[in-house]
RNA sequence: GGUACUCUGGCAGAACGGUUAUGCGUGAGCCUGCAAAGCUUAUACAAGGGGGUUCGACUCCCUCGGGUACCUCCA
């Protein structure tokens, strides 16, 4: 599998001979998560599910930044504590992402629970002479790390001249960034240098090394983290360990609205909760995977609606397979195999989920075609089900479950309807159909049989 | 201002030098008691503008222009 690496700017082969170790920058827990967060995390969710499907072990570490100015500000505004705020939004996070059918990461380390590791990390940096203490805190000395700027392709002299940061005269160099900030505002921790809290970038360096070792396979996050966050992580980590940090840097493009980045400051955010209520997890996932992960995607109701149409096709396909009982069977082994290979090849080639989805929908379409032609035999159905299920699991698409008692009720109603139809009592027959519709059961009248499907309830329809 | 990315049919979106996929939408048809769903089929001057390299360019190079992101916290 090849993945485009932001650092080298070429496609790098992912080493799958052993467990694949992934560090994904998570969210700062001071507010609700939005669709932009969802996209990044869904992309990595599909990546890990794909690799797991191949039998490859995955270690996925995703942090929570739970100490940060924004959290503290929010706590003050709400007359609460930072811990209460972060706890609340971590709970909120899991609610959102469980709802999106995202598999839990191996571990979700929090910055506040790794203060010791962070302090040890800083101590090493100071020992090596790449960090220094000043009146306001401990700073990383950018000039001590010759590779600074290699990820974001920025030159340090240009950064300085274009810098709009208010210069802190305590810093030796305006580019230096804090790894420890002195502060008396809670939360604070004692450190060898003074009471305070860690800077933002240091937590990821410390925790990734702790959980994944000095060199791991993939470091991911949104494109907006390239600078300064990831650039600074590289500087800290490589200064500390003297070895290459992540092997592949994988960055996910932004979700935009009307071409503008979705962000809190712009105020154009769509919260996961809101979109989930209106569209459900499957459509959101299809939407997030509809373009190449590295490119931006524009959020719009139209695109969600398009994905709703596609999702209905998947549901139809699913139930055609469930109800398949035709005697005829076509020779379809080759077709299934080919689409399965197309699917995998697409993902192997820089994780092209759009093309993988094409293969998936082709299989859906082929199935529906067979069903329409009354050629979907039971053997065919079993064969297709297996591959379709594999793809669905990787993509994280879920067909709503149905209980046995529901089934019995539906079958009974359909039987009644059939009798009315035979007697040409269509009004009564239609009443039953309406009743089923209310239960979100849709009927499909084939030539000599009627099948049903349970449709996912989509509010925005 | 700097850096990176980007510009394909009504919309979305691929193919990283060799027939401009595919999906949505739209039109027509099949199926149906009627629907719905599904299927069939049709549809589109499609590559920002201008140069160049090449037998051949969406794909490479140059140039002009538009857009976005980052340069401050950001998935």
Tens digit of pLDDT for each residue in A327-379?
777 889 999 999 999 999 999 999 999 999 999 999 999 999 999 998 999 99
Based on the domain organization, do A226 and A343 belong to the same domain? no
Based on the domain organization, do A32 and A139 belong to the same domain? yes
Spatial distance from the CA of A355 to the C1' of B11 (Å): 18
Query: Residue A16: is its pLDDT beyond 70?
Result: yes
Tokens 């924004």 correspond to A70
Cα-flanking dihedrals φ and ψ of residue A33, to 5°? -80, 150
Mean pLDDT of chain A: 93
From A100, A27, A9, select the one nearest A286 (Cα to Cα).
A100
CATH number, position A173: 3.40.50.620
pLDDT at residue A330 in the model? 80
A82-99 and A69-77 are packed helices; what angle lies between their axes, rounded to 10 degrees? Answer: 110
Based on the domain organization, do A380 and A411 belong to the same domain? no
Burial of A78 (0-12, 13-18, 19+ CB in 10 A): exposed
Residues 60-99 of A with CB under 7 A from strand B: 65, 68, 70
Give how far the C-alpha of residue A185 lies from the chain's centroid of Cα atoms, to the nearest Å: 34
- Strands of the sheet containing A177-182, edge to edge, are A131-133, A137-140, A177-182, A196-198
Based on the domain organization, do A334 and A251 belong to the same domain? no
| Structural domain count of chain A | 3
Distance CA A450, CA A414 (A): 8
Where on the phi/psi map is residue A422: left (φ > 0), alpha (ψ -120 to 50), or beta?
A: alpha
From A274, A276, A279, select the one nearest A302 (Cα to Cα).
A279
Query: Residue A6: is its pLDDT beyond 70?
Result: yes
Based on the domain organization, do A341 and A359 belong to the same domain? yes
From A88, A130, A140, A103, select the one nearest A395 (Cα to Cα).
A103
Cα-flanking dihedrals φ and ψ of residue A402, to 5°? -135, 140
Query: Residue A438: is its pLDDT beyond 90?
Result: yes
Domain end (from A257, A272, A287): A272
Asked if the structure places residue A81 within a domain, the reply is yes
pLDDT at residue A266 in the model? 86
From A199, A286, A213, A288, select the one nearest A246 (Cα to Cα).
A213
Asked if the structure places residue A86 within a domain, the reply is yes
Report whether A290 contacts A310 (CB < 8 A).
no
Distance CA A369, CA A377 (A): 12
Domain end (from A256, A272, A288): A272
Query: Residue A166: is its pLDDT beyond 70?
Result: no
Judge if ipTM > 0.90: yes
Asked if the structure places residue A285 within a domain, the reply is no
Distance CA A289, CA A306 (A): 13
Asked if the structure places residue A292 within a domain, the reply is no
Residues 269-308 of A with CB under 7 A from strand B: 290-292, 295-298, 302-303, 305-306
CATH number, position A351: 1.20.120.640
Based on the domain organization, do A391 and A408 belong to the same domain? no
Asked if the structure places residue A286 within a domain, the reply is no
Query: Residue A435: is its pLDDT beyond 90?
Result: yes
Asked if the structure places residue A289 within a domain, the reply is no
Q: Write out pLDDT tens, residues A21-36.
A: 999 999 999 999 999 9
Burial of A129 (0-12, 13-18, 19+ CB in 10 A): exposed
Kindly report which listed range (A118-122, A206-210, A264-268) carries the lowest average pLDDT score.
A264-268
Residues 239-268 of A with CB under 7 A from strand B: 252-256, 259-265
Based on the domain organization, do A27 and A96 belong to the same domain? yes
Across A172-184, average pLDDT: 92
Based on the domain organization, do A54 and A157 belong to the same domain? yes
Q: Which residues pair with A184 in a beta bridge?
A: none
Q: Looking at strand B, which nucleotides approach a protein CB closer than 7 A? A: 1-6, 11-16, 21-25, 31-40, 67-75
Q: What stretches of A191-322 adopt beta strand conformation (E)?
A: 196-198, 218-222, 248-252, 255-257, 260-261, 297-299
Asked if the structure places residue A293 within a domain, the reply is no
Query: Domain limits at A419?
Result: 404-454
The SS3 assignment for A121 reads: helix
Based on the domain organization, do A426 and A322 belong to the same domain? no
Q: Write out pLDDT tens, residues A120-133.
A: 999 999 999 999 99
Tokens 């699913």 correspond to A318
* Residue A157 Cβ < 7 Å to strand B: no
Based on the domain organization, do A88 and A235 belong to the same domain? yes
Based on the domain organization, do A162 and A72 belong to the same domain? yes
The SS3 assignment for A408 reads: helix
Q: Which residues contact A31 (CB under 8 A, 6 or more apart)?
A: A70, A74, A89, A264
Based on the domain organization, do A387 and A409 belong to the same domain? no
Asked if the structure places residue A195 within a domain, the reply is yes
Query: Residue A95: is its pLDDT beyond 60?
Result: yes
């Amino acid at each position: 599998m090849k993945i485009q690496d932001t650092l080298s700017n070429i496609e790098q082969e992912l080493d799958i001979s052993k467990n694949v170790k992934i560090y994904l920058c998570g969210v700062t827990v001071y507010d609700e998560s939005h669709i932009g967060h969802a996209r990044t995390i869904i992309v990595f969710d599909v990546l890990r599910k794909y690799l797991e499907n191949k039998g490859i072990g995955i270690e996925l570490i995703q942090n929570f930044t739970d100490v940060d100015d924004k959290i503290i500000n929010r706590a003050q505004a709400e007359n609460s504590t930072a811990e209460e705020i972060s706890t609340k939004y971590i709970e909120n996070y899991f609610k959102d992402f469980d709802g999106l059918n995202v598999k839990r990461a191996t571990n979700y380390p929090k910055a506040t629970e790794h203060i010791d590791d962070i302090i040890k990390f800083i101590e090493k940096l100071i020992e090596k002479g790449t960090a220094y203490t000043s009146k306001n805190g401990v700073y990383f000395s950018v000039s001590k790390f010759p590779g600074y700027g290699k990820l974001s392709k920025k030159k340090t002299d240009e950064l300085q001249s274009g810098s709009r940061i208010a210069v802190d005269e305590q810093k030796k160099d305006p580019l230096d960034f804090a790894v420890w900030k002195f502060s008396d505002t809670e939360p604070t921790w004692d450190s060898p240098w003074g009471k305070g809290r860690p800077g933002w970038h240091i937590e990821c360096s410390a925790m990734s090394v702790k959980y994944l070792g000095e060199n791991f396979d993939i470091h991911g996050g949104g494109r907006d983290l390239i600078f300064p966050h990831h650039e600074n992580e590289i500087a800290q980590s490589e200064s500390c360990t003297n070895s290459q940090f992540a092997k592949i840097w994988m960055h996910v493009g932004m979700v935009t609205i009307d071409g503008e980045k979705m962000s809190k400051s712009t105020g154009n955010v769509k919260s996961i909760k809101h979109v989930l209520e209106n569209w459900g997890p499957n459509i959101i996932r299809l939407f997030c995977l509809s373009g190449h992960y590295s490119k931006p995607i524009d959020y719009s109701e139209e695109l969600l609606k398009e994905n709703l149409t596609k999702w209905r096709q998947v549901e139809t396909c699913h139930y055609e397979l469930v109800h398949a009982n035709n005697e005829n069977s076509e020779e379809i082994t080759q077709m299934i195999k080919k689409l399965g290979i197309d699917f995998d090849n697409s993902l192997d080639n820089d994780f092209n989920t759009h093309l993988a989805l094409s293969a998936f929908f082709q299989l859906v379409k082929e199935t529906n075609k067979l069903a329409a032609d009354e050629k979907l035999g039971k053997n065919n159905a079993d064969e297709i089900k297996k591959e379709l299920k594999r793809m669905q699991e990787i993509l994280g698409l879920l067909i709503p479950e149905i209980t046995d008692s529901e089934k019995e009720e539906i079958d009974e109603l359909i039987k009644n309807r059939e009798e009315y139809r035979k007697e040409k009592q269509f009004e009564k027959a239609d009443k039953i159909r309406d009743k089923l519709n209310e239960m979100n059961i849709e009927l499909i009248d084939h030539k000599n049989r009627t099948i049903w499907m349970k449709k996912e309830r989509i509010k925005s329809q």
